[in-house]
């Protein structure tokens, strides 16, 4: 098969996690991703070129971010939602992106919108930018992983069809407005 027709995949070594060590190690999805070589553990919170998933930015992740992820990688910061503001206030992130409206299915935050754990966040990000096989590979490591896609598939597909960050925000607003009715 000619190279131009082969599906381009992101190397799992370009998926990084910074462990804030604020959660129960037995429940830590980021540690599990590192254990199965699906992500590389980062030892220092230095984020220059890679795309970093952060809830503290106004810019939404979109398919337009695929090129940056392919080139520099993607990072998720594993910290407690209760301490996230404190952590993110202390680090400098050049290329931060927020995930749009999605529903957590992990046992800790089941059914809570915007409260994804690290594995869910990475899988969602990869799915939205078109790296669906990698997203599925991450969620395959969790008993509840398939359920994440079942619950969020219409959202994920809609976001993956967007052109840019503004289109993702507009799509998210449509979903949230629909839920409020």
Structure tokens at 148: 């994440």
- How remote is the C-alpha of 111 from its chain's centroid? 17
pLDDT above 90: percentage of residues in the chain: 60
- Average pLDDT for 11-40: 81
Q: Where are the domains of the chain?
A: 3-180
Backbone angles phi, psi at 144, to 5 degrees: -90, 0
Q: How confident is the model at residue 164 (pLDDT cuts 50, 70, 90)?
A: very high
What confidence score (pLDDT) does residue 48 get? 66
Give pLDDT tens digits for 35-58.
Answer: 999 999 987 765 667 898 988 788
Nearest to 114 by CA among 105, 125, 103, 124: 103
Nearest to 117 by CA among 125, 154, 162, 45: 125
Give pLDDT tens digits for 65-102.
Answer: 999 999 999 999 887 655 555 665 666 667 889 999 99
For tokens 């991450």, the residue is 138
Is residue 7 predicted with pLDDT exceeding 50?
Answer: no
For tokens 């490591």, the residue is 141
Average pLDDT taken over every residue of the chain:
85
What confidence score (pLDDT) does residue 45 get? 63
Q: How confident is the model at residue 5 (pLDDT cuts 50, 70, 90)?
A: very low
Q: How confident is the model at residue 1 (pLDDT cuts 50, 70, 90)?
A: very low
How many Å apart are CA 14 and CA 65, to the nearest integer? 14
What confidence score (pLDDT) does residue 96 get? 85
What confidence score (pLDDT) does residue 26 get? 75
The upper half-sphere exposure of residue 16, i.e. CA atoms within 13 Å in the direction of its Cβ, equals 21
What pTM did the predictor assign? Answer: 0.86
Is residue 142 predicted with pLDDT exceeding 80?
Answer: yes
Task: Quote the radius of gyration of the chain (alpha carbons, Å).
Answer: 15
What confidence score (pLDDT) does residue 43 get? 76
How many Å apart are CA 40 and CA 100, to the nearest integer? 24
């Amino acid at each position: 098969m000619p190279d131009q027709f082969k599906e381009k995949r992101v190397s799992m070594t370009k998926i990084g996690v910074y462990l804030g060590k604020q959660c129960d190690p037995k429940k830590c999805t980021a540690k599990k991703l590192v254990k199965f070589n699906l992500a590389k553990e980062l030892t220092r919170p230095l984020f220059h070129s890679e795309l970093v998933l952060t809830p503290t930015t106004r810019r939404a992740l979109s398919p337009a971010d695929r090129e940056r992820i392919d080139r520099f990688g993607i990072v998720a910061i594993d910290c407690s939602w209760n301490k996230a503001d404190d952590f993110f206030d202390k680090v400098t992130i050049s290329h931060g992106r927020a995930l749009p409206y999605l529903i957590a299915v992990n046992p800790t935050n089941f059914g809570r919108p915007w409260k994804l754990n690290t594995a869910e966040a990475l899988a969602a990000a990869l799915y939205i930018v078109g790296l669906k096989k990698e997203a599925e590979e991450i969620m395959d490591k969790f008993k509840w992983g398939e359920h994440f896609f079942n619950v969020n598939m219409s959202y994920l597909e809609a976001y993956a069809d967007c052109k840019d960050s503004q289109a993702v925000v507009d799509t998210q607003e449509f979903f949230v407005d629909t839920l409020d009715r």
